[in-house]
Structure 1
Amino acid sequence: MANTARVIKFPAQQPAQQENRMADLENGYLRLANQIQDALCFVELSGREFRVLNAIVRLTYGWSKKEDRITNSLIADKTRLDVKHVSEAVLSLAYRKIIKMRRIGQIRYIGINTLLDSWAYTKPKCAKCPVSFPVAEVVTQVITIPENRDRKIASKTIPENRDSHPQKQGEVSLKTGNTKDIISKTNIKTDLTPIVPTGDECEKPVVDDAAQDEPKADPVRKVFTHWQTEHHHLSAKLDDKRRKRIKARLAEGFTADELCRAISGAKGDSWLMGKNPSKKLYDGIDTILRDAAQVERLRDLAGDEHAMAVAQGQYSATTARNLETLQRWAGGTDSGELF
């Protein structure tokens, strides 16, 4: 009896249909100047530069910021490019002045250059040239360094005077003679005395003893002393944690004077001065110099009389804004001084 098999066909699973994504303003939108959008329409960009530039626009104007701290890895996640290719595209856009970059220590801020006349709209003629300069500027910006083979080195001429070449065979120089006749008969160990060269006597610069004894000012100590005096913490000690925090801000490019201004400007911050839910003072040097953004914000508050008055409780923030508006309307100075 022959064995027979029965084939049963099961229905194949149909792939699930993916929903089509639709752009909607409810999911977010960005505000971009029409002039920048028009400039982006006819600027010549490579494929990577185009993707990187759109990512920068999205990461800045998409969050209503003109510039922001943007790393190459963040752009790589947005554009799905390698970090190396992103770095090359960012440098090319910066050289062509399409974007602007500035650094505060190790932090890099990137934004779109709003000065549209400074953009290099045409692509460079060669791949290695980051910027397409006008013809008139090539002379001033390209520096050629000649190699050794390009130099014209004057060949050393051999004098024809045979007296200066005693190695010539067949004749003996009348002035020098043979080598055995001109050997010195002096004893090198006893008869020769060393010749000490006498040059021009250099006068030593006069060093002020008072300036020499004066120790160099320590910027860390200067900032800490200013914080003690400004916020009345005379009994505080400069421990390792506070010293490390001050050195971190100095390493980011801030000067000691800028840190002192930020410490003084902390008095204009209502939250730090106790107007917070916990009613506590947050005037420690670790809090004031927390990061670069905090230092910049408090540094700008230094000398702002309105902010100081609000923080000290002289009047409310609404009154401060009204006074500032009235002062501008009355034609007062922009120094920020109170009436």
Structure 2
Amino acid sequence: MRIVTPIQSKSGFTRMDNDLYEALIGAELSGRELRVALAIHRQTAGYNLESACIAASYIAEMSGIRREDVSRAICELIRQGVIYRDGGSRSPIGFAPVGEWKIDKKNTHSNKPKEVPQCGVSNTSNVAFLPHNKERNTNTTPDGVVVGAERQTAQVKPARQKPAMEACPYQDIVDLYHKALPELPAVAILNDGRKRALQARWRESEVHRDLGFWADYFCQVKASPFLMGQVPGRNGSKPFRATFDWLIAPSNFVKVVEGNYHA
């Protein structure tokens, strides 16, 4: 009986450092983050490279993950120190030393026992039955005519209502911006125009209706030297530096999410 399957060299194979392999196994990464990390490893170590320029669209094609979700996963991996990128969104990516990783603790919720549904038990039977509040009317004549007692009330199921969309947490998003990007101009006044722009971005997609998305979004901005004003302007002009209003504008928002902006 053959225990070890031999490597088929003619079909190619990728070697992985044991420390990196074991670190990825034990890291509390999300499934999406792990898949993106493996795609990056395939495009670097798979070609004997320490780092490589890898487009988010290419990883999306490899993994079947949407491009914007790949960009967010890359941003998270950079933030947790798993990978590094020297420069903007089009710069080479490589794996950082395992000892420098700072993985978030994701599984912090304690397991709670499942609640047992309440039920009534008959004194004469072992069959459980659900309690109900149906009113019975026993004040009837032999002909079945009610003679004055309360009539039996019919239970009418209320119409199913569409759940209301959660209101946009304007201030929470602004707070995330200030926390992640203290180098950029602060938001002093949360006026109606800014609220309308935030509400529009919040309602555009179910993905956007999550403060975790906004934390990742601002993290992606921080990873870009261009958006942070660290790239010299053309012809001696001042470097461009993103502002809160610029980041929440419709066209700019899409560019940042997809990594489709240029210095």
Larger radius of gyration: 1
State whether TM-score is above 0.5: no
Normalised to the residue count of structure 2, the TM-score between the two structures is 0.38
Normalised to the residue count of structure 1, the TM-score between the two structures is 0.30
Whose RCO is larger (CA < 8 A, sep 6+)?
2
